[in-house]
Structure 1
Amino acid sequence: MSMQSEIPNVEALADKSDGPRMGRPVGDQKAKKAAFLAAAMQVISENGYGQTSLRDIARKAGYSTGAITYYFSSKDELILAAIDNSFDEQEEFLALNLGRGTIDAETIVRQWLDPVETPFQGTWPVLSQLLASANGGPFAALIETRYSRYRAKLAAIVEEGQRLGIFRADISGTIITDLLCAIGDGLTAMRPIEREHFQPNRIELLMTSIATIMAPA
């Protein structure tokens, strides 16, 4: 599974209906911004933060540099917005599945690992790159804040799952949450490095095993 395939398809998000890109605020502005946010994550995953420019991101999204600077004054402003958008999507995933009553350990782990179920898990290696660049620069504080908020939302879901008998209750809900985050983040970090080891059938077994471990005895 390539890194590119794990990030929303840029071409599908870009609005191609308004002719030449001259930086004018015409057409579907929401679609444009979504295309720029997706393109930013994809280009960083391919080239690295230091080798990524606004021109590269605009080209990937199918627009001119002038179009992108109408919405974002700098590369860092765009990337900060992309980070926020990534966490927004993950929180929406939790809310959607909670509303359907389908949150369990396997569902949560799939959030990191399954490209069919969740199209945004490829952002985690990108976030790691951003944290490593110049000691995190302006990105570290935002990632820490958003991750902490995400973890709190996940912990609330786990604790509700314990009350409903979905998760084992002999371990603190916050500890289960930390374990799920550590497992998901670790596998996401290692999977691109050890692709031969983490084949789809092994990932499927891992997800099923994690769900079994977290389930009530």
Structure 2
Amino acid sequence: MNNSGSLVSPTNQHSETDNPVKPRGRRGRPVGDRESKRAELLAAAIAVTAEEGYTGASLRKVAKRIGGTTGTVTYYFANKEEMITAVAEELFSKLAALLDVNDENLDLNKLLQKWLVLNDSSETDLWLVFIQLLAHARHELAIAAVIQRHSAQFRSRLASIVETGQAQGTIRNDIPAELLADQLCALCDGWVLMMPIEPERFTPERVQVLLQTVSTLIAPPSASSV
């Protein structure tokens, strides 16, 4: 006991003041770079959803795939809806990157080819997930909102590219750019959705023929046909 009557010595008081107990971190808080861990979880979520389908995907399965805990997953995605919504955002971010082109050097045929190439073996999971998202969007409002927002942005950007081509005389201008963009989206969406199901229909050679056909359809009418 010291002079003040306390059972704690001055030395101990000083130690407790200088070394306060640190509060516990959030449950499941990951160690390391946050963005890298989120990207890892997102990749796992895409793979699990592609393999298990929307219904079969779960936070637990995503955690198991990376060798982590469910707490680690919930640190980034509070629930399954939030996780799947993030998956949808990732899918559309890749589509948006397609349209990040210089309008002054427009080559719409190459642009559409990039769109179809996204369905190659390295990106198959994304398209399998996309099919799952479309199938459940009617009853999952959060997913529907992501699809609607990004689809509208995608069509708007494509319409701007088509409009530039019309001004340059490389794309027919007797049909509004917005309608042509909508038609192009419908064509490519249909092809992309069917490619994993009918791979023999979409050989590299036939894809080139399909793209050439699209180029013919949107090309300005020739002077001889007027």
TM-score by length of 2: 0.74
1:81, distance to aligned residue in structure 2 (A): 1.5
Match of 1:90 among 95, 99, 108: 95
Match of 2:212 among 205, 208, 211: 208
Match of 1:158 among 157, 162, 165: 162
Residue in 2 aligned with 1:54? Answer: 59
Amino acid paired to 1:107: K
Match of 1:33 among 38, 50, 56: 38
Match of 2:70 among 65, 68, 89: 65
Structure 2 Cα separation of the partners of residues 166 and 25 of structure 1: 52
Residue in 2 aligned with 1:18? Answer: none
Shift in CA distance, 188/157, structure 1 to aligned 2, threshold 3 Å: same
Structure 1 Cα separation of the partners of residues 106 and 62 of structure 2: 35
1:77 equivalent in alignment to 2:82: yes
RMSD: 2.7
Structure 1 Cα separation of the partners of residues 102 and 124 of structure 2: 19
Tell which has more relative contact order, 1 or 2 (C-alpha 8 A, sep 6+). Answer: 1
SS at match of 2:56: coil
TM-score by length of 1: 0.76
Match of 1:195 among 190, 194, 199: 199
Structure 1 Cα separation of the partners of residues 173 and 63 of structure 2: 49
1:117, distance to aligned residue in structure 2 (A): 8.9
Shift in CA distance, 212/87, structure 1 to aligned 2, threshold 3 Å: same
* Contact kept in structure 2, 1:105 and 1:180, CA below 8 Å: no
1:180 equivalent in alignment to 2:194: no
1:106 equivalent in alignment to 2:76: no
* Contact kept in structure 2, 1:124 and 1:185, CA below 8 Å: no
* Contact kept in structure 1, 2:98 and 2:111, CA below 8 Å: no
Shift in CA distance, 214/133, structure 1 to aligned 2, threshold 3 Å: same
Q: Please, which runs of 5 or more residues in structure 1 have no aligned partner?
A: 1-21
Structure 2 Cα separation of the partners of residues 185 and 116 of structure 1: 11
Amino acid paired to 1:92: A
SS at match of 1:161: helix
Q: Please, which runs of 5 or more residues in structure 2 have no aligned partner?
A: 1-26, 222-226
1:171, distance to aligned residue in structure 2 (A): 2.0
For these two proteins, the number of residue pairs brought into alignment is 194
Residue in 2 aligned with 1:9? Answer: none
SS at match of 2:144: helix
Q: Summarize deviations over 1:184-210 as a string: whole Å, max 9, x none.
A: 111011112212222222112212332
SS at match of 1:130: helix
Shift in CA distance, 128/106, structure 1 to aligned 2, threshold 3 Å: same
Structure 1 Cα separation of the partners of residues 195 and 64 of structure 2: 29
Amino-acid identity (%): 39
Larger of the two Rg values belongs to structure: 2
SS at match of 2:138: helix
Which shows bigger deviation, 47-56 or 118-127? Answer: 118-127
